[in-house]
Amino acid sequence: MKILCQNAEYEKDMQDLVNLFFEGEDCPFSIEHQSDRDGQNVLSVLLVGSGDDVKKFEKRFVLPKNIGGLIEKSLLKRHFKNHLYEVLSSICKKSLPWGSLTGVRPTKFARDLIERGEVKPHLIGETLVRDYHVSSDKAKLVVKILQNQKCIIKNDNLVDLFLNIPICPSRCNYCSFISSELKAVEGKVEEYISCLLKELEAVKKVIAEKAYIVRNIYIGGGTPTVLNSEQLERLLSQITYPVSEFTVECGRADTITREKLEVLKKHGVTRISINPQTFCEATLKRIGRKTTNKEVLDAYMLAMEFDFVVNMDIIAGLSGERLGIFKRTLSTLLELYPQNITVHTLSVKNAAQIRGEEIKFKNDITKMVEFAEKTLMDNGYKPYYMYRQKNQVGGLENVGFERDDNVCIFNIDSMEDTSSVIALGAGAISKRVFNLENRIERQPNCKFIEDYISRIDEMIEKKVQFFS
């Protein structure tokens, strides 16, 4: 059942909130929102029910005087969403970890409140709890993350460079990213690299002309190390910016070889990821991820020889996993003790899957995320960036942890929208941040490799214009 809002501009956010309460179930009653206003006094009305049994819930609030139109709109939205949250929470007898917040970047939301002067920094945690119904644990998490983001520099001349390799050795069946299997695009890989290099050449000119300074580089995917060592050499030898943070998301251990790591090291890569997702081999089979624990451990030992900062991704909520298995994965991770660990919560392709066969142990997933966050912090890891995705089980989040000051600044920049990103390749989305105007523009490339190759000149022209 869809929510009906008198004021259409709030409908999407209100609907997102309804969806978070019902997670794939159909909302069993109709909801209508109306509002009335007399000067600064606003009345929010919710009509909830079905057939003849419709209940009316009212809430009044007063808007401050002399505020701009944009702030007024955001306050109205906040009050209407809070009202809806309170009503649904009492009807469903349920609270949500992120309260009435529906956006994907809670820490950016908190940072904006502070930067606009609406909330004093030391009061942000209690404000999230009091004004947005965020749980006290999640509010504490936000406070900790903001404290660990000291590396943010807002300067329109600083840019991050991102290259996308949306190719994988095989598809994992839970994956929510667009990426092609190598065997489907094998004949196009060389051409894809040529197009990437062509785009890079054009971008290099803009960087020089506009005196941009490249702060961080990130090659993501997909699985960039699906390329062979010659192909990696061909690509990396052209990326010559002297940065202190250069990540290559290797990800799949079965693609990592000594030769490839040598190429990465030679060209200044400082950080790689080797992602187990889980250390349960039965789960790996179930989720169609064709790697083994031995491959992950071997790749990790090899990476240590090269002195890379290593990140490891895990996912809470993989098909069939209960809390006990997840705890074992976490304890293996702690034995390995990588500098970065990212804990994801499973995000499903459509909300209906949450109530389907796959997500049998939903209650365990909340416990897994709580357990991971607490255990990692008890073991010296600090949370330093986070984001939420659509259809994430339990309305939870993904959190990146680091130890010993090994934050990945690129991850912070991308999630907090604090730096422009020049993004190359199929599926890459460039972002230009205008800090003084508090404005962001985005510019996407074609999603798929074939289109990207056939329209490369158009991609380049748009990119050059976008950053000029």
Ligand X SMILES: C[S@@+](CC[C@H](N)C(=O)[O-])C[C@H]1O[C@@H](n2cnc3c(N)ncnc32)[C@H](O)[C@@H]1O
Torsion angle of alpha carbons 373, 86, 349, 139, nearest 10°? Answer: -20
Q: Does 138 bind ligand X (CB under 6 A)?
A: no
Nearest CB to ligand X, comparing residues 84 and 232 = 232
Residue 175 contacts ligand X per CB under 6 A: yes
Q: Which residue from 242, 240, 237, 259 is spatially nearest to 250, judged by alpha carbons?
A: 259
Question: Tokens 């060389």 appear where?
Answer: 190
Nearer to ligand X, 223 or 270 (CB): 223
177 makes contact with ligand X (CB under 6 A):
yes
Residue 184 main-chain phi, psi, to 5 deg: -80, -20
CB atoms within 10 A of CB 58: 11
Cβ-contact 164, 171 below 8 angstroms: no
Q: Is 185 in the site for ligand X (CB under 6 A)?
A: no
Beta bridge partners of 43: 36, 60
Instruction: Kindly identify the residues of this chain, within the stretch 210-229, that bind ligand X according to CB under 6 A.
Output: 221-223
Contact (CB, 8 A) for 353 and 359: yes
Identity of the residue, 346 or 409, whose beta carbon is nearer to ligand SF4 in the bound complex: 346
What does the per-residue mask of binding to ligand X show for 326-345, with x meaning CB under 6 A?
------------------x-
Which residues ranging from 50 to 89 are in contact with ligand X (CB under 6 A)? none
Work out whether 358 is an interface residue with ligand X (CB under 6 A).
no
Q: Report d(CA 181, CA 171) in Å as an integer.
A: 6
Nearer to ligand X, 161 or 312 (CB): 312
Query: 39 preceded by cis ω (within 30°)?
Result: no
Give me 268's structure tokens: 């200044």
Question: Which residues contribute to the site for ligand SF4 (CB under 6 A)?
Answer: 168, 171-172, 175, 177, 179, 221-223, 251-252
The least CB distance from residue 295 to ligand SF4, in Å, is 13
Interface pick for ligand X out of 272, 315, 359, 433 (rule CB under 6 A): 315
Q: Which does 287 bind (CB under 5 to 8 A by kind): ligand SF4, ligand X, none?
A: none
Residue 270 interacts with which of ligand SF4, ligand X, none, CB < 5 to 8 Å by class = none
Give the contacts of 366 (CB within 8 A, at least 6 positions apart): 97, 394, 396
Which of ligand SF4, ligand X, none is residue 267 near (CB under 5 to 8 Å by kind)?
Answer: none
Q: Which is nearer to ligand SF4, 96 or 274 (CB)?
A: 274
Q: Which does 171 bind (CB under 5 to 8 A by kind): ligand SF4, ligand X, none?
A: ligand SF4
The sheet carrying 245-251 orders its strands as 382-387, 398-402, 340-345, 309-316, 271-274, 245-251, 213-221, 158-165, 420-424, 429-434, 439-444
- What is the contact surface with ligand X in residues (CB under 6 A)? 168, 174-177, 221-223, 249, 251-252, 275, 277, 313, 315, 344, 346-347
